[in-house]
């Protein structure tokens, strides 16, 4: 019972999943259900053939989420930290689309070299003794060559600052409107693409809040032991720092104070965005994208440090600004009913190529075949310029039933006996004797000639079989259709069907099979009476894979069916 419940549950989940990710078939440009109301006039004009351009279909929205590595590029060496983003995107054409994207990133940084010029940085200078808090430190050499710090305002002689290792943690919130340009969906040699490349740029606003890990509880860190050791690389230095420091980030970093607007207590700045990505289609509704995004901000305090470390005892403002980078992998889903895919997945050349290949709306003029004499046979097949009103044959030549040289349309004696020819200009002959005595021999010869079906039917084509086979090809069936047409025009005639080769039993049986196949097809498929055939197989002097057909001579007889010579061999 429990297994049935699990099976039912699994089936239900599969059904829900397939429903959620079912692929809506892309509709054609002729489907009015995907055309928005405002474009219906253009759709109607296109369907009626008065507009060359189909209406742009309604296309789906894309929503996406992504996660990746977020970092700030500034004065303090950065470390990769997590970032997250979500967006909604809409196409306005096959190349251009826009998206609204929210990004949240956590940036961290930790220098691996120690610093002593931090008096002007409130995150570190606030922890100095009062005598050392001044705004313009000057480095001098005192008695005995000892380095001293002298305040330019009070003249107070101080001691060198304890070394510190700059660090920070920044929380960034960014909302941007971006224009996205698809680079490769217009394809000339392929209908669709499963991968799109795109670039984007935009603008928006961002807030940030930066803090520094300067205290261990309420006590200032003593970095002297780490600064005094000479580590070979940054890895060892940072490893020692992480072992010493907690993760409190309790001290507000240097910031713009009240000089810049605040949003939810964080510094607000306008921002710009540029980036590029590549998307891979999993289905018509789902794709994944790898993307790199750079945020540009006119602010040097994303990392909480604006003072450029120079010579000992001196600090000056830097002239550059910080930026941030977000490298992410995202999952995107297309949403929208009665819509085609987002247009950046659609090749706009689909319609044009389909119309060229299989025209439906193309205005193709009807072919006009010239027939200068109006006899119904076009000039390229017409062998004669026939006078008007004269019946012609399939070659456009005037009919002459009695063969006297005068066309039927001018012949006043439509059938002139041969013995009465030649004829005059009206087709009337002159017979050599007044009674029938002179034409009796001719009539007997004519009667004998009329009984000769080889003459009536003319030359009949042969039927070819593949070597060792007994199947009729399409060409062979077309040949038999021609034979049947001639037999139907001369219903009094018989034909002889001849098969060849009889050197062994196999050849004898195959020859019989070939003849039987031809006769059976003409009887069953073409409706010719079986008693009009003479069955003749196993003859010599011909091709084993060919069956000849000829009209029967006068008084020629033969069986129309013959028992197979080796039926058992045929079955094998």
Q: Does the pLDDT of residue 63 top 90, yes or no?
A: yes
CATH code: domain of residue 552? 3.30.1330.60
Residues 478 and 333 in one domain: no
- 320 within a domain of the structure (yes/no): yes
- 566 within a domain of the structure (yes/no): yes
Residue at a domain's end among 347, 375, 398? 347
* pLDDT confidence tier of residue 190, bands split at 50, 70 and 90: confident
E strand or H helix at 122: helix 122-125
- CA 13, 15, 16, 20 dihedral sign is positive
Both tokens assigned to 329 = 């992998």
For residue 556, the enclosing domain spans 456-571
CATH code: domain of residue 336? 2.40.160.20
* pLDDT confidence tier of residue 534, bands split at 50, 70 and 90: very high
Q: Does the pLDDT of residue 476 top 70, yes or no?
A: yes
Listed in order, strand segments (DSSP E) in 74-194 are: 78-79, 81-91, 96-110, 137-141, 147-151, 157-158, 167-182
Q: Does the pLDDT of residue 360 top 50, yes or no?
A: yes
169 DSSP β-pair partners: 108, 211
Cβ distance 127 to 220 under 8 Å?
yes
Residues 312 and 176 in one domain: yes
Q: How far apart (Å, rounded) are the C-alpha atoms in residues 217 and 209?
A: 21
Question: In 3D, which of 244, 247, 159 has the Cα closest to residue 211?
Answer: 247
Does this model's pTM top 0.75? My answer is no
- 401 within a domain of the structure (yes/no): no
pLDDT value, residue 132? 47
pLDDT value, residue 325? 95
Q: Does the pLDDT of residue 198 top 50, yes or no?
A: yes
Both tokens assigned to 274 = 């540029």
pLDDT for 261-282, tens place per residue?
778 878 999 999 999 999 999 9
Q: How far apart (Å, rounded) are the C-alpha atoms in residues 522 and 519?
A: 5
Q: How far apart (Å, rounded) are the C-alpha atoms in residues 75 and 12?
A: 55
Both tokens assigned to 393 = 């044959």
* pLDDT confidence tier of residue 123, bands split at 50, 70 and 90: confident
* Mean pLDDT, rounded, for 165-178: 94
Concatenated DSSP letters for 216-272? ETTEE---HHHHHS--SSHHHHHHHHHHH--S---EEPP--GGGS-EETTEEEEEEE
Residue at a domain's end among 347, 371, 404? 347
pLDDT for 300-309, tens place per residue?
888 888 765 5
- 271 within a domain of the structure (yes/no): yes
pLDDT value, residue 21? 38
Q: Which range, 38-47, 100-109, 234-243, 419-428, is most confident?
A: 100-109
Residue at a domain's end among 347, 373, 397? 347
137 phi, psi to nearest 5 deg: -70, 140
Q: How far apart (Å, rounded) are the C-alpha atoms in residues 339 and 284?
A: 12
* pLDDT confidence tier of residue 429, bands split at 50, 70 and 90: confident
- 258 within a domain of the structure (yes/no): yes
Residues 468 and 337 in one domain: no
* CB atoms closer than 10 angstroms to residue 548: 19
Domain count, the chain: 2
Residues 340 and 474 in one domain: no
pLDDT for 313-328, tens place per residue?
444 444 578 999 999 9
- 564 within a domain of the structure (yes/no): yes
Residues 334 and 463 in one domain: no
- 532 within a domain of the structure (yes/no): yes
Q: Does the pLDDT of residue 80 top 90, yes or no?
A: no
Q: Does the pLDDT of residue 298 top 60, yes or no?
A: yes
Q: Does the pLDDT of residue 551 top 70, yes or no?
A: yes
Question: In 3D, which of 137, 270, 141, 135 has the Cα closest to residue 207?
Answer: 270
* pLDDT confidence tier of residue 444, bands split at 50, 70 and 90: low
pLDDT for 376-405, tens place per residue?
788 877 788 888 878 888 787 878 777 777
538 phi, psi to nearest 5 deg: 70, 30
Q: HEC profile for 311-331?
A: CCCCEEECCCCCEEEEEEEEE
Select the more confidently predicted residue: 25 or 213. Answer: 213
pLDDT value, residue 24? 37
- 389 within a domain of the structure (yes/no): no
């Amino acid at each position: 019972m429990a297994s049935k419940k699990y099976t039912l549950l699994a089936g239900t989940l599969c059904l829900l999943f397939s429903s959620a990710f079912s692929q809506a078939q892309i509709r054609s440009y002729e489907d009015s259900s995907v055309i928005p109301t405002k474009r219906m006039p253009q759709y109607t004009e296109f369907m009626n053939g008065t507009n060359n351009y189909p209406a742009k279909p309604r296309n789906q929205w894309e929503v996406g989420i992504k996660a990746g590595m977020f970092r700030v590029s500034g004065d303090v060496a950065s470390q990769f930290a997590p970032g997250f983003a979500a967006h909604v995107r809409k196409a306005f054409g096959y190349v251009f689309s826009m998206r609204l994207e929210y990004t949240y990133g956590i940036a961290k940084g930790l220098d691996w070299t120690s610093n002593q010029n931090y008096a002007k940085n409130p995150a570190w200078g606030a922890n100095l003794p009062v005598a050392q808090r001044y705004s313009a430190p000057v480095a001098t050499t005192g008695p005995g060559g000892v380095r001293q710090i002298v305040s330019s305002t009070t003249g107070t002689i101080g001691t060198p600052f304890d070394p510190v290792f700059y660090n920070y943690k920044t929380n960034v919130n960014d909302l941007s409107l971006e224009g996205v340009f698809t680079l490769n969906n217009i394809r000339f040699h392929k209908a669709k693409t499963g991968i799109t490349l795109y670039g984007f740029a935009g603008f928006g606003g961002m807030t940030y809040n930066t803090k520094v890990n300067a205290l261990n509880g309420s006590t200032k860190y003593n970095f002297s032991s780490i600064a005094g050791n000479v580590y070979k690389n940054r890895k060892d230095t940072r490893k020692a720092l992480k072992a010493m420091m907690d993760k409190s980030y309790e001290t507000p970093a240097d910031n713009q104070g009240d000089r810049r607007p605040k949003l939810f207590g964080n510094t607000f700045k306008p921002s710009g965005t540029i980036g590029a990505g590549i998307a891979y289609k999993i289905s018509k509704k789902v794709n994944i994208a790898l993307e790199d995004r750079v945020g540009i901000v006119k602010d040097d305090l994303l990392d909480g440090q604006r003072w450029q470390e120079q010579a000992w005892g001196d600090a000056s403002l830097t002239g550059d600004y910080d930026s941030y980078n977000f490298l992410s992998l995202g999952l995107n889903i297309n949403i929208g009913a009665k819509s085609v895919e987002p247009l950046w997945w659609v090749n706009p050349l689909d319609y044009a190529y389909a119309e060229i290949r299989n025209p439906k709306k193309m205005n193709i003029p009807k072919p006009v075949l010239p027939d200068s004499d109006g006899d119904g046979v076009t000039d390229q097949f017409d062998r004669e310029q026939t006078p008007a009103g004269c019946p012609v044959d399939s070659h456009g030549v005037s009919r002459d039933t009695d063969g006297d040289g005068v066309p039927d349309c001018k012949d006043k004696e439509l059938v002139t006996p041969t013995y009465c020819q030649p004829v005059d200009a009206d087709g009337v002959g002159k017979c050599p004797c007044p009674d029938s005595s002179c034409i009796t021999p001719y009539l007997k010869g004519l009667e004998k000639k009329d009984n000769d079906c080889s003459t009536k039917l003319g030359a009949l084509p042969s039927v070819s079989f593949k070597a060792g086979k007994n199947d009729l090809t399409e060409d062979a069936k077309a040949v038999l259709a021609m034979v049947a047409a001639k037999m139907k025009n001369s219903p009094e005639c018989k034909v002889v069907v001849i098969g060849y080769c009889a050197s062994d039993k196999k050849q004898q049986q195959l020859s019989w099979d070939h003849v039987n196949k031809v006769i059976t097809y003409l009887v069953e498929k073409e409706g010719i009476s079986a008693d009009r055939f003479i069955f003749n197989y196993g003859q010599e002097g011909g091709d084993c894979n060919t069956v000849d057909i000829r009209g029967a001579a006068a008084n020629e007889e033969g069986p129309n069916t013959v028992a197979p010579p080796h039926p058992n061999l045929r079955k094998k």
